[in-house]
């Protein structure tokens, strides 16, 4: 996006971060890699304080290998602002990955797109209790928004318009003023709170919890109450006074005298 283009024709990491670094206004471009898991920008398991601004990450052609655009494994503090990437391919790619040690990430006004041929990749991948704060980002494509088992997430004014189903089994998440295309998912140990969001559906399993705190819920209560009512109906058989009649599995019997 600037006067400098860094081109990696094949295999190898492109940038390994050090502490107190600021990256600004350039393009990273990769050719055809032959080895999987070739990270673009990574911290090499070192705690870093890094700010990245106005970067463009470009894939040349379609890839079937597992790229990670940003990999953070050290307990650092990272800011990604006004950056973009576009991945076209199949396989388990990840946009931003926090693993091994919990990092703090600030994501501001970015434009991320992932055209995923088999919907197995994700924009956000987290297996540790990092802290993620997003504001004004666009998450697009046919991939998952989330593949997370842990982490504390706050997204504010984000357009989450990628279409594949989430994997969310252990996060604590707050979504404010977001537009969400895929179902909002909370699996076991996950809690998702929403305020002033537009969304199509929710999906919770086990002990997962989804709460809509918006003052203007519009049709949102229907999604939540419908799920609660259907669950109760499928698991309950109730008789009120008198001899109950067998109305079939999953039905509620109320007999009046």
Q: How would you classify the pairing of strands 159-160 and 138-141? A: parallel
At residue 23, does pLDDT exceed 50? yes
**Pick the residue with more confidence: 53 or 238?**
53
| Pick from 50-59, 119-128, 219-228: least confident | 219-228
Tokens of residue 36, six digits: 């999987």
At residue 138, does pLDDT exceed 90? yes
* pLDDT tens digits, 184-241: 999 988 999 999 999 989 999 888 999 988 766 554 444 444 455 555 555 554 444 4
* pLDDT tens digits, 156-190: 999 999 999 999 999 999 999 999 999 999 998 89
HSE of 63, CA atoms in CB hemisphere, 13 A: 26
Distances (CA, A) of 27 to 7, 156, 159, 216: 8, 27, 24, 42
Please state, in angstroms and rounded to a whole number, the distance separating the CA atoms of residues 95 and 114: 8
**Pick the residue with more confidence: 257 or 142?**
142
**Pick the residue with more confidence: 31 or 257?**
31
Do 40 and 62 form a contact (C-beta atoms < 8 A)?
no
Q: What pLDDT score does 6 carry?
A: 76
Q: What pLDDT score does 240 carry?
A: 45
186 phi and psi angles, rounded to 5 deg:
-135, 110
Give the pLDDT mean for 49-55. Answer: 96
Average pLDDT taken over every residue of the chain: 83
* pLDDT tens digits, 69-91: 999 999 999 999 999 998 877 77
Q: How confident is the model at residue 61 (pLDDT cuts 50, 70, 90)?
A: low
Q: What pLDDT score does 34 carry?
A: 67
Please state, in angstroms and rounded to a whole number, the distance separating the CA atoms of residues 140 and 96: 14
């Amino acid at each position: 996006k600037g006067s400098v283009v860094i081109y990696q024709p094949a295999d190898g990491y492109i940038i390994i971060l050090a502490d107190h670094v600021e990256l600004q206004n350039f393009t990273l471009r990769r050719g055809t890699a032959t080895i999987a898991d070739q990270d673009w920008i990574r911290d090499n398991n070192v705690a870093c304080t890094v700010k990245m601004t106005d970067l463009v990450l470009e894939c040349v052609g379609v890839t079937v290998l597992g790229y990670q655009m940003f990999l953070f494994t050290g307990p650092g503090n990272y800011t990604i602002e006004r950056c973009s990437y576009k991945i076209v391919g199949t396989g388990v790619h990840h946009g931003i990955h926090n693993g091994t040690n919990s990092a703090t990430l600030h994501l501001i006004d970015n434009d991320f797109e992932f055209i995923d041929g088999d919907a197995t990749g994700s924009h956000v991948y987290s297996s540790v209790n990092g802290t993620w704060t997003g504001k004004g980002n666009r998450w697009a494509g046919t991939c998952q928004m989330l593949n997370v088992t842990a982490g504390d997430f706050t997204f504010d004014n984000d357009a989450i318009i990628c279409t594949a189903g989430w994997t969310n089994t252990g996060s604590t998440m707050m979504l404010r003023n977001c537009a969400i295309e895929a179902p909002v998912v909370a699996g076991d140990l996950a809690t998702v709170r929403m305020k002033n969001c537009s969304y199509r559906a929710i999906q919770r399993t086990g002990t997962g919890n989804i709460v809509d705190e918006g003052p203007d819920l519009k049709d949102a209560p229907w999604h939540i109450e419908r799920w609660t009512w259907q669950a109760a109906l499928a698991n309950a058989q109730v008789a009120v006074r008198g001899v109950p009649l067998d109305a079939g599995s999953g039905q509620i019997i109320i007999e009046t005298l």
